[in-house]
Structure 1
Amino acid sequence: MLMLLTGCNALPDSGPTEAQVNHTQRDPKKNTVGYGIVQISLDLITLLESESPALFTSLDADNTPRNPGKNDTVGPGDILQVSIYEVGSALFSPTNAGMAAASGGVNIPGASTASTLPPLNVDGAGNIRMPFVGSMHVTGMTTTQVAQAIRTQLKQKSQSPQVVVRIVSDIANSVMVYGGVRHPSRIPLTPNREHILDVIALAGGEEHSNESDEDYIVRLTRNDRIAEMPLKVIENEPAQNIVMQPGDRVQLTFQPRNFSVLGASGQVTETQFTTPTLTLAEAISRVGGPLDSRADPNAVYLFRYENADILRRLGMPIDENATTGPVVYQLDMMNPNGYFLAEKFMMRNGDLIYIANSSSNKFYKFMNLITTILSPGTSMGGIAK
């Protein structure tokens, strides 16, 4: 019997048993990452469902938007197109001056001349320079206000000047959209005040349109603050489809969600979700569930780096500066209640399921090994006879 036990202990395992997992968790020398074990229950599921990701609406919680206007003001980097309409002797139209000379120096009051100046760049200081006006500060002004300011400067130099200004390259009122979109580009904002889904659509939408929206992560940078959220959440929660502000940066990233399964399961594998949502029961069934010959069904574990706030609410010790921490959720599949709980427990990207080996697994391994050595090809049933 002693030799039998020694032989059993010498055999290799594919992973720890329930007793070994629990023992390691209680031993500070072995539990170097500081994980805790939590039984899956209805209270736990309710707690996890109450967790909310970093919201886009929180980006402006501590600071005022830089430009709460309507995206129609001029700023550094913009390019302006200025058109001037003059009556009589014109400053900007040599054609009209030639007509006046041909008529003996007599201006023709009814003749109106339109002159379009070369594009004017708004420099880093927010100024433009134009003939007969000089330098003019235009940052923060609408195109109408810029036109009025130019007209005021030309009144003493031109007869009844009328000015039209439009922005031909809007840099100040724009956002950058890049990453997993069809057409990464700078998207100009308009007085219509585009939302985040609008600018993603204007950039061509998702690069892989046949993939699930849950596999796309939207990363928004605003005022040096960053928030991330699945594209599907923004589509389902209108409050998160926030209005874009000049200078925002939107990155769309394709991140296929997957989970891994190890231990005494029908299949050891890494598997993609392929569906908008996935429960623990669905994930276990995809790999064949626990093996009857090896598994311990009351020791099904899910390893996850959980949100630090959730861990604190569970009463687990965690560093005050940490954002996540390791935790092991345990499911008892020998209890019928566990199947109902598994149907409610939602999987997340990167989860790892481990189905523990049965404590009697080594004995059966040892007996199979003895059978193979003594009589290759003979079953245990034959030896028993």
Structure 2
Amino acid sequence: MGPVQHRALSRKRLAVMGGALMFLAGCNALPNSGPTESQINHAQQNPKKNAVGYGIVQISLDLITLLDSEGPPSFSSLDADNVPVAPGKNDTVGPGDILQVSIYEVGSSLFSANSATMLASSASGTNTLPSSASSSTLPPVVVDGSGNILVPFAGQIHVTGMTAHQVADAILARLKQKSQSPQVLVRIASDIANSVMVYGGVRMPSRIPLTPNREHILDVIALAGGVDHTTQADEDYMIRLVRNGHIAEMPLKVIENEPAQNIAMQPGDRVQVIYHPRTFSVFGASGKITQTRFSMPTLTMAEAVARVGGPVESRADPNGIYVFRYENADVLRRLGLPVDEKASVAPVVYQLDMMNPSNYFLAQKFMMRDKDLIYIANASSNRFYKFFGLITTVISTAE
């Protein structure tokens, strides 16, 4: 290389280094996938940047215990809170039921054609008695809104809370003075009082009558045709139970896997089957930025991070693993965060330091929720490495 070429190459290298120094002064302009831990913490304290008013809470065992205690009620707890002192047998009569009443008589009959024969015989003075018993089935008897039925020759009878056998006895007591050796049979033809409504994502939404066998929640879902397994998995279905003004929701798969949650139905229960695929999103220095479905009844933070490949070693800051969530406002008040009095939910950021080995156990206990957002912070040194790589590329090109 001649002197002239050597000087030209030196000037080029100096120009490149000078330009690199200028880039170093504006290193913040280098592209990045998101803020660092310190930037998130500073933004939280800056009212101009924290317009939604979120707080940052460190994930701890106490926090996990609080979140678990404030979760939606399980079906087993709902059953314990509302179970009657003496559990019903689903065989009593109530308003709206339709009864089939059959009356059997000997001799003078009130309800069959034999009664006309008896009247004619009495008028002629022969007093001829029929030689055989007669039976009559009354038209459908509806229990009115007050719980009463009206039976010819027996009058109005209050039957709410009675079994079919007790209703028959009540009718018989009224007819004994008017008919010779009457016998009464009562059957519940349409059972409205002892039924539950099953609707939503089932093949045959309907009213399911309960029997003395005491059907459970999976039983009535099956009787309504079950959920559509051809396109969706059980993990994507939520079951909502409404009982006495209380509401509980659980994934269908949890009910299938935990017999204690497959509680017995009570008259008046409403069961809604909801197709609701749950997802979480991941941003920042992760192996993959994506929105991912749960595809399982419950999902921990550790499992969620692992699904996307975990933090990228070359650019992630394991001190700053965050979960962004809209949390129940009562929970945030108990954590001491300022929350509007009228708010039912408020934003919060949960942080986990994965440089502490014990926190990996917490990650296995912290439960993810639908629409949670995981953010893995970039390391502060990430920009330096990007800048260093840029300089290396420029110098190599210049040579």
Question: Alignment partner for residue 396 of structure 2, among 377, 382, 385?
Answer: 382
Question: Alignment partner for residue 128 of structure 2, among 88, 106, 114?
Answer: 106
Q: Does 1:304 align with 2:325?
A: yes
Shift of 1:85: 0.5
Task: Give the aligned residue type for 1:220.
Answer: L
Q: Distance in 1 between matches of 2:339 and 2:109?
A: 77
Q: Distance in 1 between matches of 2:247 and 2:62?
A: 31
Question: Alignment partner for residue 159 of structure 2, among 133, 138, 155?
Answer: 138
Question: Alignment partner for residue 15 of structure 1, among 23, 34, 59?
Answer: 34
* Contact 2:239–2:250 under 8 Å retained in 1: yes
> For the structure 1 residues 239 and 64, does the alpha-carbon distance in structure 2 shift closer, same or farther, using more than 3 Å as the test?
closer
Structure 2 match to 1:223? 244
* Contact 2:329–2:346 under 8 Å retained in 1: yes
Using structure 2 for the length normalisation, give the TM-score. Answer: 0.78
RMSD, matched Cα: 3.7
Q: Does 1:267 align with 2:288?
A: yes
Question: Alignment partner for residue 91 of structure 2, among 68, 72, 75?
Answer: 72
Q: Distance in 2 between matches of 1:275 and 1:72?
A: 39
Structure 2 match to 1:25? 44
Shift of 1:163: 0.8
> CA offsets, 1:193-225, max 9 Å, x none?
333333233323333388554443222222223
Q: Distance in 2 between matches of 1:192 and 1:231?
A: 22
Structure 1 match to 2:369? 348
> How many residues end up aligned between the 2 structures?
376
Task: Give the aligned residue type for 2:301.
Answer: L
> For the structure 1 residues 52 and 161, does the alpha-carbon distance in structure 2 shift closer, same or farther, using more than 3 Å as the test?
same
Q: Distance in 1 between matches of 2:150 and 2:98?
A: 12
Shift of 1:351: 1.8
Q: Aligned ranges for residues 285-304 of structure 1 at < 5 Å?
A: 285-292=306-313, 294-304=315-325
Question: Alignment partner for residue 143 of structure 2, among 122, 146, 151?
Answer: 122
* Contact 1:100–1:108 under 8 Å retained in 2: no
Structure 1 match to 2:272? 251
Identity of aligned residues (%): 72
> For the structure 1 residues 296 and 60, does the alpha-carbon distance in structure 2 shift closer, same or farther, using more than 3 Å as the test?
closer
Task: Give the aligned residue type for 1:74.
Answer: V
* Contact 2:24–2:387 under 8 Å retained in 1: no
Q: Does 1:39 align with 2:61?
A: no
> For the structure 1 residues 224 and 33, does the alpha-carbon distance in structure 2 shift closer, same or farther, using more than 3 Å as the test?
same
Question: Alignment partner for residue 190 of structure 2, among 139, 161, 169?
Answer: 169
Structure 2 match to 1:374? none
Aligned to 2:170, the other structure's residue is in SS state helix
Task: Give the aligned residue type for 2:166.
Answer: Q
For structure 2, which runs of at least 5 residues remain unmatched after alignment?
A: 1-19
> For the structure 1 residues 93 and 381, does the alpha-carbon distance in structure 2 shift closer, same or farther, using more than 3 Å as the test?
farther
Q: Distance in 1 between matches of 2:312 and 2:261?
A: 44
Q: Distance in 1 between matches of 2:130 and 2:115?
A: 9
Q: Distance in 2 between matches of 1:381 and 1:41?
A: 48
Task: Give the aligned residue type for 1:382.
Answer: S
Structure 2 match to 1:329? 350
Shift of 1:235: 4.5
Q: Distance in 1 between matches of 2:243 and 2:66?
A: 30
Q: Distance in 2 between matches of 1:41 and 1:121?
A: 60
* Contact 2:238–2:250 under 8 Å retained in 1: yes
Task: Give the aligned residue type for 2:72.
Answer: P
Task: Give the aligned residue type for 1:88.
Answer: G
> For the structure 1 residues 41 and 234, does the alpha-carbon distance in structure 2 shift closer, same or farther, using more than 3 Å as the test?
same
Shift of 1:50: 5.8
> For the structure 1 residues 364 and 175, does the alpha-carbon distance in structure 2 shift closer, same or farther, using more than 3 Å as the test?
same
Q: Does 1:187 align with 2:208?
A: yes
> For the structure 1 residues 74 and 238, does the alpha-carbon distance in structure 2 shift closer, same or farther, using more than 3 Å as the test?
same
> For the structure 1 residues 343 and 62, does the alpha-carbon distance in structure 2 shift closer, same or farther, using more than 3 Å as the test?
closer
> For the structure 1 residues 27 and 293, does the alpha-carbon distance in structure 2 shift closer, same or farther, using more than 3 Å as the test?
same
> For the structure 1 residues 61 and 335, does the alpha-carbon distance in structure 2 shift closer, same or farther, using more than 3 Å as the test?
closer
* Contact 1:333–1:339 under 8 Å retained in 2: yes
Q: Aligned ranges for residues 305-320 of structure 1 at < 5 Å?
A: 305-308=326-329, 311=332, 314-318=335-339
Q: Distance in 2 between matches of 1:382 and 1:222?
A: 73
Aligned to 1:284, the other structure's residue is in SS state helix
Q: Distance in 2 between matches of 1:173 and 1:60?
A: 17
Q: Distance in 2 between matches of 1:156 and 1:336?
A: 86
Structure 1 match to 2:9? none
> For the structure 1 residues 57 and 40, does the alpha-carbon distance in structure 2 shift closer, same or farther, using more than 3 Å as the test?
closer
Task: Give the aligned residue type for 2:272.
Answer: Q
Aligned to 1:274, the other structure's residue is in SS state coil
Q: Distance in 2 between matches of 1:336 and 1:140?
A: 61
Shift of 1:58: 5.2
For structure 1, which runs of at least 5 residues remain unmatched after alignment?
A: 372-378
Task: Give the aligned residue type for 1:106.
Answer: T
Shift of 1:22: 0.6
Structure 1 match to 2:177? 156
Structure 1 match to 2:101? 82
